[in-house]
Structure 1
Amino acid sequence: MQLKTDKLSQQLQQKLLPVYWVSGDELLLCQEACDKIRATCRQQGFDERQVLNADRSFDWGLLYEAGASLSLFAQKRLIELRLSSSKPGDKGAKALQEYLARPPVDTVLLINSPRFDSATLKTKWAKALLDSQDCALLQVQPIARHGLSAWIQQRLSQQGFSADLDALELIVTRVEGNLLAAVQEIEKLKLLTDETHLSLAVIQAAIADSSRYDVFSLTDAALAGDIARTVRIINGLRHEGTEIPLLLWAVARDLRQLAQASQKAQQLGIDAALRHVWPAPRKTLFAQALKRLTPKDLAPLFLLAQQIDEQGKGQAPGDAWSTLTEVLLKLAGQPIFTQ
């Protein structure tokens, strides 16, 4: 059956279903939905937790074994199945249908996957999941740009804040649709201001007084070619426990915009290529970067960004922080030493 995310808490209060499938591309909202399910499981004595990461080479027999094996440590357990795609393939579809036909007692299966597309929802196995009363499918919808201000306002209200419209718009502009970044901004406001009503001036003052290790200043330092500051900021962010996905989002965002501008600059010149970049300080930073980086220089950085994503998920060898540092140093104009 389909279950709306805003009805999840109500459903969990009624009973725990054998299977929950959380599908979506908005990391924060999916994480919060999964956290609610995990918390309810813990409250009801599901003390054992097993995690299965299902990539393309995943052995679906492991799901059957997990469901069939007896728990060694607890009577109730939570099995988490993390899919790299919402299309599990023929073997995966068969395994999921067989599991749902005979779900183990005292076991909750929590599946987390990217967003379902309309074609996937029409497949036989997906319809079987939707028709089952033992499975809840939560399709987590992203927050549209026009709804982001209201979403941030709601989050601020939960933390005891109210805000003027222009203050909200400043936050919306800074986070550029990234909900993780929005939550981080709100957390910083809790630390940086004693005000409960947020005017534009209050927000601007808080931003000015914020930590020197700021996600938004990281790529600014790299774009400016300030290698020493880039290294200081990334080391500080790592020390503060900043999540890799948030940093990667900021870097990938600027890489895409810089690559597009670099292509245009080859034909139209830097000024014309940056005509639509806003605000003005960002335009200056991009202009500095374009003077030292060509499309050929930028192309390998996208491959490294993909590598960071895989390393952060444990799907590739190497350290995501080291690779991220490599990308930023190259963006700043100084490739790291190679062996």
Structure 2
Amino acid sequence: MRPNPQHTDTGMAPLHVVFGGELLLVTETVDAIRVRARSQGYTERTVFTVDTRFDWGNLSQWGCQSSLFGERRVLELRIPTGKPGKEGGAAIEALCRNLPRDAIIIVTLPEMDKQGRASKWFKALENTARMTEIKPVGRDRLAHWVKQRLEQQRQTVDRDTLQFFADKVEGNLLAAYQEIKKLELLYSPGPLSFEQVKDALLDVTRFDVFQLPEALLSADMVRYGRILKGLEGEGMAPPLILAVLSEQIRLLLKVYLLMDANKGMPIEQAMTALRIWPARQKLMLNVIQRVRYPQLVQALRQAALIDRVIKGVEKGDIWEEFLNLGACFAADANFRMARRNDFLSTINSSQN
């Protein structure tokens, strides 16, 4: 990516682009740019959020106007979908060709896929703006991220406590941030004990039903079982859990069927045609390479069984049947054939 060498007379780039899937980090980055701009006299702020009804004429009109009070201006152009459309793409290209004077423009985008990065409007931004890509903080990096954030507020914990913290927030960066700030309010700077962190976290830990699909599709049965136990303990409605998981299974089946109907269609093209988010495509790709069509059909049959148990048409333990559904995606065929008490023992041991 090539940032534009031109700068305002205050040394700031006139156009910034911040993009990525971590909303917290995107927001923090934009906040930092805005604070710096304000410190250098850019006090008039306008925010445009692009949706299906957005009038792109507002962008060119803003660019042509000057501040009523002669103040330097900041424009935040937020494009949550990352797809401005034909009209929006042309407006962005025009903006890049003729940046307004005495203004700082901040464009925010989600994580961009290969097709989006290849678009003319994105290329125009690359050649004109200072680009900042926010990389996702995966579960493997979350403990280190928490450690750095705690150190910023002059607090430290040991490695085991860090891992406990990461497991409890389940990769949710915003939840992790909120818990870190709570620790700052509760305790003085310095080392924190495991008991202090545990007491602070367990009071408000909530398992999110929308974390289940990632654990299911990645065949992380221990994590899947742990989240299920949390949802059961919180009294989460089983029909909602079933709806979330069934949607993922049907989506995978649609990918298979689309590829079968269009011989030779690449998996990536099939997922794009089905409007699967770029951030989700890598996970889906791993599942398709590992789990065969008959297993997905079996998983859908298991979901149908759970539906009948929920409705009282068939007898059974709903939560055990959810575990059976998870076993359909296990990476190891021997694991899928393991006895039920072995599976439960694996999950229960992870709680200790």
1:121-151 per-position Cα deviation (integer Å, ceiling 9, x unaligned): 122222222223xx11211111121111111
1:31 aligns with 2:27: yes
Shift of 1:257: 8.6
The normalised TM-score by structure 1 is 0.62
CA contact (8 A) 1:48 1:74 kept: no
1:24-74 per-position Cα deviation (integer Å, ceiling 9, x unaligned): 110110001100110011001011001111112211110000110121134
Q: How many residues align?
A: 242
Judged with a 3 Å threshold, the aligned counterparts in structure 2 of structure 1 residues 146 and 14 are, in CA distance, closer, same or farther, namely farther
Q: Which structure has the bigger radius of gyration? A: 2
Partner of 2:100: 104
What letter corresponds to residue 120 of structure 1 in structure 2?
G
Distance in 1, Cα, partners of 2:9 & 2:66 = 27
CA contact (8 A) 1:47 1:76 kept: yes
Partner of 2:229: 283
Distance in 2, Cα, partners of 1:12 & 1:185 = 39
CA contact (8 A) 2:20 2:135 kept: yes
Alignment of 1:119-268 (within 5 A): 119-132=115-128, 135-194=129-188, 196-207=190-201, 214=204, 216-217=205-206, 250=208, 252-253=210-211
Distance in 2, Cα, partners of 1:289 & 1:104 = 55
Distance in 2, Cα, partners of 1:298 & 1:187 = 34
The normalised TM-score by structure 2 is 0.60
SS at match of 2:147: helix
Shift of 1:14: 8.0
Alignment of 1:315-334 (within 5 A): none
Judged with a 3 Å threshold, the aligned counterparts in structure 2 of structure 1 residues 197 and 2 are, in CA distance, closer, same or farther, namely farther
Alignment of 1:27-66 (within 5 A): 27-66=23-62
Partner of 1:330: none
CA contact (8 A) 1:12 1:37 kept: no
Judged with a 3 Å threshold, the aligned counterparts in structure 2 of structure 1 residues 58 and 297 are, in CA distance, closer, same or farther, namely same
SS at match of 1:52: strand
Name structure 2 gaps, 5 residues minimum.
248-309, 311-352
Name structure 1 gaps, 5 residues minimum.
4-10, 220-249, 261-273, 303-332, 334-339
What letter corresponds to residue 211 of structure 2 in structure 1?
R
CA contact (8 A) 2:147 2:156 kept: yes
Shift of 1:179: 1.3
Shift of 1:13: 12
Q: 1:95 aligns with which of 86, 91, 96?
A: 91
CA contact (8 A) 2:82 2:109 kept: yes
Distance in 1, Cα, partners of 2:134 & 2:68 = 34
Shift of 1:82: 1.0
Shift of 1:276: 6.2
Judged with a 3 Å threshold, the aligned counterparts in structure 2 of structure 1 residues 57 and 174 are, in CA distance, closer, same or farther, namely same
Partner of 1:75: 71
Partner of 2:80: 84
What letter corresponds to residue 90 of structure 1 in structure 2?
K
